[in-house]
Amino acid sequence: MRNPIKNQIKNHFLWLALLAVGCAAPSTQNNYERDKPTYQASNIKDKRVETDAFLAQKFKVLEIRQTTVQGDLMKVNVLVLNDDDWAGNVIYKFEWLDDQGMAVDTSSSAWVSQNFGARETLPLVSIAPNGRCKDFHLKMQQDLRN
Amino acid sequence: MFMRIKSGMPVASASAVLALSLLTTGCGGGPAAHTTETGGAGTITTVGQIDDQDFAAAARKLSQSMITSVDFGPNADGSKKVIGVSRTKNDTAQMVDTDILLDQIKAPLIESGKATVTTIGGLTTEDPLASRNVQAKDFATGDGSAKLRPADYSLMTHLSQTHATADGVRQNTFYFSMTLTETTNGTVVWTKQVPITKVGSHNAFGG
């Protein structure tokens, strides 16, 4: 004979199990690296104007490194951490300035989308469009299209 | 106490209905026509097509890789290295204007001042007037002083696509591949493939 209470409990457990499977947090990645890095990065002190608190909390700029390529082209590497258990996208754009602080009109300044896995750290990289560019701005926004 | 209008509906309720109808009118039909920054947050992301932001991302990665990897030191006479645009092959399932990608590769190369691009010495003559003038000058002077400068490098482009579906979700990966070959000896000095994977059940609008 069927026991309705037992069946109800069984159903509850079934739903809970389904819920647990459906809502399980996505897997994050493990990172491994040399104890003491062999490189010597040239870091830049940065100034931040953060008007989107959610974005600033989820995507954290850890450090900014710079170098030069092809003799005089500045290259920047902005290390960003997705400090969240959920993946997400940001769009970003580098704007370049000359030694007078004037914006350089360049075809390289385009919005680019970048996907970050949960707890993933990725570099956002840009190379100055020409040797006259000496500084930059980085703009970041949530990519709500994804 | 509410003031009653003819239908007997309280004024407060009438205001709520009005606000609701305004809200529905504003949101129901989607946004009104407007311009937005290309590839920015207020644009559309499709699942099955190459969007503006995909071209921009691919071109950025390709041009940065090329500028970082290839030694574009000047020629013995001090002139810049010249790149000729070779074959562009599109093996994706859609019609693609490959110039959208190529233009975003050529511009940063020229802007960098490290190399330049010939528009008359590539596989296709992109600028017939310039080509004709060079030939006319050559004919007039007879000394070959305006002789077409041969490209030092040849740039080849290949676009391809893979497609998969699972549980109503579509996935498309677009591969943007480029190869730079030294024309004096035919050796590849740089090659890179940038894949862009798009997954979803429908296109998305950033608002």
Structural domains in chain A, sorted by start: 43-142 (2.60.40.3230)
Contacts of A48 (CB under 8 A, 6+ apart): A56, A61
pLDDT in tens, B74-133: 888 888 999 999 999 999 999 999 999 999 999 999 999 989 999 887 777 678 888 888
CATH number for the domain formed by residue range(s) B48-205: 3.40.50
Give the C-alpha separation, B133 to B140, whole Å.
Answer: 10
Contact B108 A108 (CB under 8 A): yes
Q: H or E segment at B153?
A: strand B153-166
Neighboring chain A residues of B40 at a CB cutoff of 8 Å? 91, 111, 141
CA distance A146 to chain B (A): 7
Under 8 Å CB pairs connecting chains A and B tally to: 77
Q: Residue B193's closest CA among B66, B45, B108?
A: B66
Mean pLDDT by 10 residues, chain A (146 residues): 58 56 66 88 90 94 94 94 92 94 87 91 94 94 82
pLDDT in tens, A61-99: 999 999 999 889 999 999 999 999 999 999 999 999 999
Whole-structure pTM value: 0.80
Q: Residue B172's closest CA among B181, B182, B162?
A: B162
Contact A106 B108 (CB under 8 A): yes
Residue A44 contacts residue A66 (beta carbons within 8 Å): yes
| Chain A residue closest in CA terms to B113 | A130
Give the C-alpha separation, A27 to A25, whole Å.
Answer: 6
Long-range contacts of A26-33 (CB under 8 A, 24+ apart): A26/A85, A26/A86, A26/A87, A26/A117, A26/A118, A27/A118, A28/A85, A28/A117, A28/A118, A28/A119, A28/A120, A29/A117, A29/A118, A29/A119, A29/A120, A31/A121
ipTM above threshold 0.85? no
Give the C-alpha separation, A42 to A61, whole Å.
Answer: 16
| Chain A residue closest in CA terms to B112 | A130
